[in-house]
Amino acid sequence: MVGAQALLDGPTLDDSTVITRSLDQPELFAVLFDRHADEIFRYAARRLGGEIAEDVVAEVFLAAFRGRARYDRSRPDARPWLYGIATNVAARHRRAERRRTRIMARVPAERPGSFDDRSVERVTAEQLQPRLAGALAALSARERDLLLLVAWTDLSYEDVAQALQVPIGTVRSRLHRVRAKLRRALGGIDPLSMEPQA
Amino acid sequence: MSDEIQQFTDARPSAPPYPERARRAARDRLLDEAAGRRRSWRPRLRPGWQAVGAFALTVTMVGGVAVALSSWSQRSGPAAGAGAGTPGTADPASAATESVAVAPPVQGAELNPRPGQYIAVESETMYTSESFGAAGITGRYLYRTHRKIWKSVDGNAAGLLWIEGRAPKKFPGWPLPAEAENWKGGGWNEIAGHCPSWPDDTRTDYAYLSKLPADPAAMRAYLYRTRGGDNPDQQAFTTLGDTFLENYLPRAQRQALFEAAKTIPGVEEKAGVKDSAGREGVALGRVSRGILEQRIFDPETFMFLGERGTVVDAKIAEAPAGSVLALTAQLKVSVVDALPEAKDASKDGSCEMTAEPASPSADPSPADPTPTTSGAS
């Protein structure tokens, strides 16, 4: 399906070039999928559980493909762009996420690997310590997006700004607010937990 | 960055592997699109899906029944975090118009919640907590809580949840991690009412549940209303738990749900099963992931007493067979006219989660969730 030359070139090209070339050779976009699908899946699975994450990844790459003409070609790394799309796609699945954060400490954790990997039960709030899940529930959706991009991916603040389409100064000021909220939420449960983790 | 955010980084959940089948399907879809073979494809919609696993009883625990019960007796002592007040101090006892101590049979005392009031449920729980680090699971323990929840009878108002950590217990074979002791004292959380943008069948308020058809066949359909998922029977069983947990239903609906749940494949009935308060009831149990998950009911009134999770397959559950991994009890259900005074309650952003777009400029409409990247910096 993918052209021979594209297969040959693809792996050596940066994301921006792959995306640009995919305007003429649409199949080349599969290179981007091969490169980043796992990472996007992991992020989505941590937030929404494995089963929904499967849908999210498929949707993210379809949306990315359809919107590829608008990609900012000055950016060689497409991951911030993909995380941004994933964040938007995940927003539509938030009803699922909501339940998880809401249940807070009620829910027991599931153990990865102890049963088949399609378990829909394996979800953020269940795996987070109850107190962290509770603190997460205290944030707005936008703050949660920001926090989890910063905490759970290796994106830089600048990357996160790009993903969320806000100026980097906005990322910094929002993070400041998020920290304050978390400090209150976590501190309300246990002031000692504020100490740096070993 | 040893701060609040670092705590989330440290506790980052592990992600399941990306199944090859799903990867191929997603890649093929992309290539179909690239080749101009646009297929009509929509994500699987799972209304109510999120109920799955919400209370999936899981896990854990050490030492079997004897240990679990003896641990219970410690609980009533001056155990854990006698921290920031208790629900008792804020409990509007004077506002309580009706109350049912669930414990020994409810003697026909049914509640009559009215719109505008709140149903208050007090419970104690023990479930597993796991921590994850870069190298995988870094800690396992059983966390215990005392909870009191106030839920709007008609779902039109926000409720409250008081949750207080109690002394944790060890998970068999794992040392008690330092973090387990972090959770002491209690805190208030706001509980959103029914979110306007959600479909009716996600409602869990009394006004809605009390109108469910009180016959087992219709109730069975209710338990199976959630589509999708690989294991509809387990899902129906989970929905059963969700419907009863921290809730109150009229007797007719309780009995119909109980009868309906008995018909779920894999469900077994057993008499004389004890909840964490030591009350015996009739349990409906189903084995999932090596653990027998039991929901315990009063055999006369069908009031929900609690849950018990017992390891039956040590290999799958990664704990010795017979270990009690989850143990809870709903201690008291009452109806009150007003919420207690709650200081510094954490806000519940649930309804926002569905209503608020991820970012102001991004359009999350199904047609095009793609953000443009121009002007991003």
pLDDT tens-digit series, residues B179-234: 677 666 777 877 878 877 667 777 889 999 999 999 999 999 999 986 545 578 88
Contacts across the A-B interface (CB distance below 8 Å): 367
On whether residue A172 sits in a domain, the answer given is yes
Q: How far is A120 from chain B (nearest CA, A)?
A: 7
- Cβ pair A40, A64 in contact under 8 A: no
In DSSP terms, B229 is beta-bridged to none
Which of B356, B359, B363 to mutate: most A Cβ within 10 Å? B359
Q: With an 8 Å Cβ cutoff, is B149 touching chain A?
A: no
On whether residue A181 sits in a domain, the answer given is yes
Task: Report DSSP state, residue A71.
Answer: -
Mean pLDDT for all residues in chain A: 74
Nearest to A126 among B17, B49, B53 (CB): B53
Return the residue of B nearest to A106 by Cα.
Answer: B55
Chain B residues in contact with A193 by the CB 8 A cut-off are 7, 179, 182
What would the mean pLDDT of A89-102 be, rounded to a whole number? 57
On whether residue B38 sits in a domain, the answer given is no
Nearest to B346 among A50, A148, A185 (CB): A185
CB contact under 8 A, B49 and A167: no
Query: Which pLDDT does position B349 carry in this prediction?
Result: 57
Of B125 and B70, the structure prediction assigns the larger pLDDT to: B125
Checking if the pLDDT of B276 tops 60, the result is yes
Q: With an 8 Å Cβ cutoff, is B138 touching chain A?
A: no
Token match 């009935």: residue?
B269
Task: Classify each residue of A15-54 as buried b or exposed e, where b means 16 or more C-beta atoms within 10 Å of its C-beta.
Answer: bbbbbbbbeebbbbbbbbbebbbebbbbbbbbbbbbbbbb
What would the mean pLDDT of B320-338 be, rounded to a whole number? 93
Return the residue of B nearest to A113 by Cα.
Answer: B16
Q: Report the C-alpha gap between A97 and A57 in whole angstroms.
A: 16
Q: Which of B360, B108, B7 is nearest to A193 (CA)?
A: B7
Q: In a 3-state reduction of DSSP, which class is residue B126?
A: strand
On whether residue B83 sits in a domain, the answer given is yes
Single-letter code of the amino acid located at B163: I
CA atoms within 13 A on the CB side of A81: 28
Of A188 and A176, the structure prediction assigns the larger pLDDT to: A176
Nearest to A72 among B12, B147, B373 (CB): B373
On whether residue A38 sits in a domain, the answer given is no
Portion of chain B with pLDDT greater than 90, in percent: 35
Q: Which of B144, B69, B64 is nearest to B323 (CA)?
A: B64
Q: In a 3-state reduction of DSSP, which class is residue B293?
A: strand
Of B108 and B178, the structure prediction assigns the larger pLDDT to: B178
Checking if the pLDDT of B94 tops 80, the result is no
On whether residue A97 sits in a domain, the answer given is no
**What's the pLDDT tens digit per position in B124-147?**
988 877 654 444 456 788 888 888
Residue B95: enclosing H or E segment and its boundaries? Answer: none
On whether residue A146 sits in a domain, the answer given is yes
CA atoms within 13 A on the CB side of B153: 18
Of A122 and B349, the structure prediction assigns the larger pLDDT to: B349
Query: Of B117-121, B197-201, B264-268, which gets the smallest average pLDDT?
Result: B197-201
Q: With an 8 Å Cβ cutoff, is B201 touching chain A?
A: no
Domain that holds residue A146: 138-189
**What's the pLDDT tens digit per position in B308-325?**
999 999 988 889 999 998
Single-letter code of the amino acid located at B208: Y
Which of B10, B50, B132 to mutate: most A Cβ within 10 Å? B50
Domain that holds residue B95: 52-340
On whether residue B14 sits in a domain, the answer given is no
Checking if the pLDDT of B264 tops 90, the result is yes
CB contact under 8 A, A115 and B290: yes
Chain B residues in contact with A109 by the CB 8 A cut-off are 58-59, 127-130
Query: Residue B363, exposed/middle/buried by CB under 10 A (0-12, 13-18, 19+)?
Result: middle
Checking if the pLDDT of B45 tops 50, the result is no
Residue B37 — very low, low, confident or very high, per pLDDT cuts 50/70/90?
low
Checking if the pLDDT of A1 tops 50, the result is no
What would the mean pLDDT of B108-133 be, rounded to a whole number? 83
Q: With an 8 Å Cβ cutoff, is A13 touching chain B?
A: no
Q: Report the C-alpha gap between B240 and B247 in whole angstroms.
A: 12
Could you tell me the two tokens for A140? Answer: 């707005």
Helix A29-48 with A50-66: angle, nearest 10 deg:
140
Checking if the pLDDT of B12 tops 90, the result is no
Token match 């709650």: residue?
B342
Query: Which pLDDT does position A147 carry in this prediction?
Result: 93
CB contact under 8 A, B182 and A131: yes
Q: How far is A14 from chain B (nearest CA, A)?
A: 17
On whether residue A7 sits in a domain, the answer given is no
Could you tell me the two tokens for A36? Answer: 């980043």
Query: Of B286-290, B310-314, B334-338, B367-371, which gets the smallest average pLDDT?
Result: B367-371
Is the ipTM value over 0.95, yes or no? no
| Backbone angle region of A193, left / alpha / beta, with phi > 0 → left and psi within -120 to 50 → alpha | alpha
Centre a 10 Å sphere on the Cβ of residue B367 and count the other Cβ atoms it contains: 9
On whether residue B367 sits in a domain, the answer given is no
Token match 């921006």: residue?
A16
- Cβ pair B253, B243 in contact under 8 A: no
Nearest to A141 among B17, B53, B353 (CB): B353
Centre a 10 Å sphere on the Cβ of residue B137 and count the other Cβ atoms it contains: 17
Mean pLDDT for all residues in chain B: 73
Q: Which of B18, B368, B252, B59 is nearest to A69 (CA)?
A: B368
Q: Please state the domain count of chain A.
A: 1
Query: Which pLDDT does position B223 carry in this prediction?
Result: 93
CB contact under 8 A, A196 and B3: yes
Checking if the pLDDT of B330 tops 50, the result is yes
Q: Please state the domain count of chain B.
A: 1
Residue B351 — very low, low, confident or very high, per pLDDT cuts 50/70/90?
low
Q: Report the C-alpha gap between B280 and B278 in whole angstroms.
A: 6
What would the mean pLDDT of B30-39 be, rounded to a whole number? 70
Centre a 10 Å sphere on the Cβ of residue B366 and count the other Cβ atoms it contains: 12
CB contact under 8 A, B187 and A188: yes
Query: Which pLDDT does position A72 carry in this prediction?
Result: 85
Q: With an 8 Å Cβ cutoff, is B31 touching chain A?
A: yes
Query: Looking at residue A145, which CATH number applies to its domain?
Result: 1.10.10
Query: Which pLDDT does position A68 carry in this prediction?
Result: 87
Helix A29-48 with A15-22: angle, nearest 10 deg:
120
Query: Residue B112, exposed/middle/buried by CB under 10 A (0-12, 13-18, 19+)?
Result: exposed
Of A88 and B98, the structure prediction assigns the larger pLDDT to: A88
Query: Which pLDDT does position A136 carry in this prediction?
Result: 80
Query: Which pLDDT does position B376 carry in this prediction?
Result: 37
Nearest to B370 among A70, A112, A197 (CB): A70
Return the residue of A nearest to B317 by Cα.
Answer: A114
Query: Of A39-53, B159-173, B191-205, which gets the smallest average pLDDT?
Result: B191-205
Q: Report the C-alpha gap between B88 and B154 in whole angstroms.
A: 25
Q: How far is A150 from chain B (nearest CA, A)?
A: 8
CB contact under 8 A, A75 and B344: no
Checking if the pLDDT of B61 tops 70, the result is no
For the ranges B60-64, B238-242, B359-363, the maximum mean pLDDT occurs at: B238-242
On whether residue A112 sits in a domain, the answer given is no
Q: With an 8 Å Cβ cutoff, is A38 touching chain B?
A: yes
Q: Give the ranges where chain A is alpha helix by DSSP (H).
A: 4-9, 15-22, 29-48, 50-66, 79-92, 94-103, 124-127, 130-137, 141-152, 157-164, 168-189
Nearest to B183 among A29, A70, A190 (CB): A190
CB contact under 8 A, A134 and B132: no
